[in-house]
Amino acid sequence: MFKGFRVGAVTLSAVMLAAASGAQNPKATLSIQLDKPLHAVSPTLYGLMTEEINYSYDGGLYAEMVRNRTFYDHGWSGVPHWNLVHVGNADAIMTVDETDGPSEALPRSLLLNVSKADPENQAGVRNEGYWGMAVHPGTTYIGSFYAKADTGDIGPISIALIGDNTGSALASATSEPLTTVWKKYEFTLKTGNVETSSENHLRLTVGHAGKVWLSLVSLLPPTYKNRENGNRIDLMEKLAAMHPQFLRLPGGNYLEGDTVEERFDWKATIGPMVDRPTHRSPWDYQSSDGLGLLEFLEWTEDLHIQPVLAVYAGYSLKGAHVPPGAGLSPYVNDALDEIEFLTGDAASTKWGAVRAKLGHPAPFPLTYVEIGNEDTFDHSGSYEGRYAQFYKAIKTRYPQLQLIATMPLKQMKPDVVDDHYYQRADEFFDLVKHYDSVDRNGPKIFVGEWATREGGPTTNFGAALGDAAWMTSLERNSDLIVMASYAPLFVNVNPGGMQWESDLIGYNALSSYGAPSYYAQSMFAEYLGTEVPASALQGGSHRFFYSVTRDAAKGKVYLKLVNANSTPQPLEINLDGAGKVGESGILVTLGAANPAETNTISAPTRIVPVKTTLKDVGSTFSHTVPGYSVQVLEISAR
């Protein structure tokens, strides 16, 4: 069930307003033959897809509060997101030392050169977080950093969460005294009765002159399911409420990178943070890789969903490709190792043992592996050969896996093809019949990325109508379409947070909200059904769309009705072939006064589903779908 259901006066009146505009569409008749199932609904139909874009992981789902924690980002304008702190007459300067770091993976650090400080007049640095740091009362924050000093006299580091507006410490701690060798220091910060706010920063200071080198400064709030190095609770709860069945990981362009070197090199994203070198996302910022391969898998585990693993296949965004043959073999071997990391036995396989050593002895479930991403953009034409080479190697070792191609192929039939759609609402209205006539003897379809792109940073109600219309076609064709995932999921709504306009879930450091499309998807996925019965619609407007599914075991029929007109759509609904139809059911309505209406970070629940009782149901009954609305009807029928 949604956390967000509301019998809300605002939302209901918006729906009624649209309905009250006078005219209505010609009456339509929807005839459903419950005793004539056409095909099963794919149980994995709805899932998740995102990547390091729009500060989705760093500054988003990944709960880390410290920005630029490994000082990778630095240059002509200093060290972004870090500033000096001088209390009283203390004095210090900071630079990035490119020659000294805590590990081979992190060969640099922040050098704080303190010329003057004492315990009352400390000097140090502060980090501003990802557009602030969310601090809540009565909460424990877990922190750590790596440090060394040029002298043992320097003493401990004082750590504090400080309110930006007051300069007061909201929680503080003191580390062990520093030594002259690199060491990890851990601390906890516990807040008392403080105000909830994101206008805070983290401060690290010393009370003695000398040099201090710092790296991998980390601070994490409580996380979803208390995962160490885990995910933000509010965002994970929003994902869980979407009733997803899978996560396509690690993303689209993020898998490929701008160059081969900047691909998602999974082996560099596992193990202790200090051994992760970080890498540049093609969306123009550095990824901390705190959300690495194992964290992706733990994310799927926490939501009880399956990973759909995309493996790097030798093509990167700026055009570099690795031709099929011996040169591609290391990448094929990397993919085989990756599959073994997910599924291999902890005792008898090399990468299964690595996974176990990292704390996860049990293998993860895996059915689908995608080879590459959007390889239509590889104009060299090498994908046929690259796919074939990966296919042969993977199928030889893992014949049970279904291998997804990122484009249709001429020389072989892939198990599944990944189709992507980024459309306007009207384009989706025109596309709803597209899959009805696609050859059922060809590959299965994964709609791995789709979205109605209207509104930003998150989409508006008009986009929800386009999305809902599109989902009626996904359900009707779910004999062919095995999975579908909207993209991208996330956007940090702060200035500079967005690289891709029109996203599903928006947030800042403190709170988050779903676009109307988020609710439309959650409604469709919650009432999925297990089979598609025969049905026919006569009459009705050309912007009215529907899907019917049934769950015979539960004795339920689900109708998804999408009215993209401003005027109501009257319907006569005939349920044939059921012994007994319940007199009442459930009606869930998502509606708005006009397509431009939307939810925002400051008005997060303007458009949310409203759940009521559906009355006067029978084997034949009348129902009117309000203008600009998406409805789900749950009816008991045995």
Among 594, 631, 593, 599, CA closest to 612 = 631
Query: Closer to ligand AHR at the Cβ: 500 or 527?
Result: 500
Query: Closer to ligand AHR at the Cβ: 205 or 269?
Result: 269
Query: Closer to ligand AHR at the Cβ: 315 or 435?
Result: 315
Using CB under 6 A as the binding rule, whether residue 374 contacts ligand AHR is answered as: yes
Q: Strands (DSSP E) along 564-608, which ranges?
A: 569-576, 585-591
Using CB under 6 A as the binding rule, whether residue 404 contacts ligand AHR is answered as: no
Answer for which of 70, 253, 567, 599 binds ligand AHR (CB under 6 A) is 253
* Rounded Cα gap, residues 318 and 334, in angstroms: 21
Answer for which of 488, 591, 595, 609 binds ligand AHR (CB under 6 A) is 488
Name the minimum Å distance from CB 283 to ligand AHR. Answer: 8
Query: Closer to ligand AHR at the Cβ: 498 or 587?
Result: 498
Query: Closer to ligand AHR at the Cβ: 373 or 563?
Result: 373
Structure tokens at 286: 């550095």
The separation between CA 143 and the C-alpha centre of its own chain, rounded to angstroms, equals: 25
Among 322, 244, 248, 257, CA closest to 284 = 257
Q: Per CB under 6 A, which of residues 33..72 are in contact with ligand AHR? A: 51
Using CB under 6 A as the binding rule, whether residue 308 contacts ligand AHR is answered as: no
DSSP secondary structure of 50-103: --SSTTSIIIIIB----SSTT----BTTBSTTEEEEE-TT-EEEEEEETT--SS
Which helix (H) or strand (E) covers residue 629, if one does? strand 629-636
CA distance from start to end of the chain: 23
Using CB under 6 A as the binding rule, whether residue 487 contacts ligand AHR is answered as: yes
Name the minimum Å distance from CB 466 to ligand AHR. Answer: 16
Query: Closer to ligand AHR at the Cβ: 264 or 558?
Result: 264
Amino acid at 187: F
Structure tokens at 175: 């580390």
Using CB under 6 A as the binding rule, whether residue 295 contacts ligand AHR is answered as: no
Name the minimum Å distance from CB 488 to ligand AHR. Answer: 4
Answer for which of 288, 373, 472, 563 binds ligand AHR (CB under 6 A) is 373
Q: How many residues bind ligand AHR (CB under 6 A)?
A: 9
Name the minimum Å distance from CB 374 to ligand AHR. Answer: 5
The residue of the chain with the least Cβ separation from ligand AHR equals 252
φ and ψ at residue 153, rounded to 5 degrees = -75, -10
Helix (H, G, I), strand (E, B) or coil at 262: helix
Using CB under 6 A as the binding rule, whether residue 449 contacts ligand AHR is answered as: yes
Answer for which of 146, 299, 312, 500 binds ligand AHR (CB under 6 A) is 500
Sheet holding 91-97, edge to edge: 91-97, 109-116, 210-220, 140-149, 183-190
Among 370, 533, 521, CA closest to 452 = 521
Using CB under 6 A as the binding rule, whether residue 213 contacts ligand AHR is answered as: no
User: Can you give the binding site for ligand AHR, defined by CB under 6 A?
Assistant: 51, 252-253, 373-374, 449, 487-488, 500
